[in-house]
Structure 1
Amino acid sequence: MKLWVSLALFGTLFTSVLAKPHHLPSFPDQCGRHPAQSCSAAANQTANSCCVEKKAGLFLLSQFWDVHAGYEDSWTIHGLWNDFCNGSYPSNCDPSRSYTNITEVLVSRRAFKLLQDMNNDWPNSAGHVDDFWSHEWNKHGTCMSTFEPGCYEKKDPFQGMIDYFNTTMKLHKKYNIYKALKRHGIVPGHKYSTSKVQKVIKKEFGMLPDLRCTTEGHLVETWMYFHVNGPVKRMDIVPTLNNNATNCNSTLIYPTKYPNDTANPKIW
């Protein structure tokens, strides 16, 4: 009888231990379960700027449909930006953390997977990826308070930058525009109603996108707006509406990539 009770008690304790990680998620940023939402009244009352973006808390994930860069079945990244809650935005907020050697830093920190992902999904059609990545970090990433060195235990000057790129890559994969549109029959090489493209993206991701077109009516970029709960790297996203903002006409062209590409595919 005692043995049976002991085994039953051990089973209960063992089950409880296994269950804890599911019910008690770990937050390494030490900001607790329910940090303030950016652009809220609570954000202004939060003293710790490592746990909330207090001023520039409206975020914008910008993705390119660049016909001269990236895979033919994937959008690419332009950047992750933060705006003040009144529509204006900060830029180049910390010259002391303006870097030009992004690849070198990532290699030195052995962030090889991140570097490979960035080369694949955050390209520059001109080929100068470090210039492109540096511009995005220096102009936008340095303005995000939750990526500042003081938010890290070792006050590492590079960890915030690495987290900025890593977070942007994860958001890009989470909001896969190409696959979302394709699921609804919207593929490159055709014309579509602008409102239809917007509605599909909203249905898939809960965000009404700001579609950007060239003067010729070609779809070239998508902006998706949101707030965040707590540090940006948590990716605790709160979608926002943009009142159907777009510079596209009522009908847009979703062009195919690499038109009239004259590169010789011959293997030497």
Structure 2
Amino acid sequence: MSPRDVGTGLFGRTTTNCGTSGPASCHNTTIQTNLCCFEAPGGLLVQTQFWDTNPSTGPLNSWTIHGLWPGDCDLTYDTSCDPSRDYTDITGLLDNAGQQSLVSYMDTYWVPNSGTPESFWEHEWSTHGTCYSTLQPSCITGYTTGEEAVIFFERAVALFQTLPTYTWLANAGITPSSTATFTLSSLTNALTTASGGYTPALYCDSSHVLYQIYWYFNLKGSLIDGQFVPISAPRAGSCPSSGIHYPPKS
């Protein structure tokens, strides 16, 4: 999982002049003033995935998308940064952009364990998507209303598709079980090896049931057409060292 581009913008045509030769977010040594080309303050990106089993959501052989969050470099978060862009009817927004196939994919892989997918998508956009400095409307030439939200969902899905958590665990012999338990080291070692050396953070509930994973990135350039730079989790999740349950979906 080396630094890479995972797709570019609206219909694949929205691009910037930012490039990827500058410093990665959270790694600058001087103050960056062009925040259309440098993600700040939310330069510690987190691609979050769910493993929902009660109730079960998504395919039996895949984790699902929670979001793509721009966390601050000091491990804090800004949220709900621009209520004026709290778009509703994300489905309609994507459909109008010609992204029916993206909506279909999200209906399968970006689903909540309560409420509707639409309300979940609206929440993820308004809470997290509006906080990207590189997705400000002023950063997009020839901007049309909602274009930045379309880009957000495109990029979040494209990044998720490079992180097949279920498959990486299964390839190491770790599959959901109603009876077996797992150690944290066996889970993280499998994922670190498969990802090319980057360790995610695993989250368990109070019963030691694994339910969420955080994959961390910095960003070179703009979220619109920049490059995700994978890094190991800067802090551990909530899972214990042993006795972790990874139950099957029903």
2:184 to 194, 199, 209: 194
- Contact 2:79/2:131, CA 8 A, preserved across alignment: yes
- Matched positions, count: 232
Q: 1:187 to 1:233 in 2, by over 3 A?
A: farther
* SS class of match (1:211): strand
State the match for 1:261 in structure 2.
Answer: none
The one-letter code matched in structure 1 to 2:211 is V
1:136-169, Cα deviation, whole Å (9 max, x unpaired)? 0000000001111112111223111011111110
Q: 1:196 to 1:244 in 2, by over 3 A?
A: farther
Q: 1:128 to 1:223 in 2, by over 3 A?
A: same
CA positional deviation for 1:217: 1.0
Q: Is 1:58 aligned with 2:49?
A: no
State the match for 1:40 in structure 2.
Answer: 27
Which has the bigger relative contact order, CA under 8 A and spacing at least 6? 2
Which segment drifts farther, 120-129 or 191-200?
A: 120-129
1:87 to 75, 95, 109: 75
CA positional deviation for 1:171: 0.9
Q: What is the alpha-carbon root mean square deviation over aligned residues? A: 1.8
Q: Distance in 2 between matches of 1:166 and 1:117?
A: 11
CA positional deviation for 1:224: 1.2
- Contact 2:209/2:245, CA 8 A, preserved across alignment: yes
CA positional deviation for 1:46: 2.9
Q: 1:30 to 1:128 in 2, by over 3 A?
A: same
1:16-56, Cα deviation, whole Å (9 max, x unpaired)? xxxxxxxxxx99311135133101225x5332211110221
State the match for 1:256 in structure 2.
Answer: 248
- Contact 1:209/1:244, CA 8 A, preserved across alignment: no
Unpaired segments ≥5 residues, structure 2: 1-12
1:163-199, Cα deviation, whole Å (9 max, x unpaired)? 1111110111101101111111010013211111011
- Contact 1:208/1:244, CA 8 A, preserved across alignment: no
State the match for 1:165 in structure 2.
Answer: 153
Q: Is 1:31 aligned with 2:21?
A: no
Q: 1:146 to 1:178 in 2, by over 3 A?
A: same
Q: TM-score, normalised by structure 1?
A: 0.82
In terms of fraction of residues, the more helix-rich structure is 1
1:73 to 56, 61, 65: 61
* Structure label with greater radius of gyration: 1
- Contact 1:36/1:46, CA 8 A, preserved across alignment: no
Q: 1:192 to 1:126 in 2, by over 3 A?
A: same
Q: TM-score, normalised by structure 2?
A: 0.87
2:105 to 117, 126, 140: 117
The one-letter code matched in structure 1 to 2:17 is Q
Q: Is 1:108 aligned with 2:96?
A: yes
- Contact 2:32/2:38, CA 8 A, preserved across alignment: yes
Q: 1:244 to 1:35 in 2, by over 3 A?
A: closer
Q: 1:72 to 1:111 in 2, by over 3 A?
A: same
Q: Distance in 1 between matches of 2:164 and 2:198?
A: 13
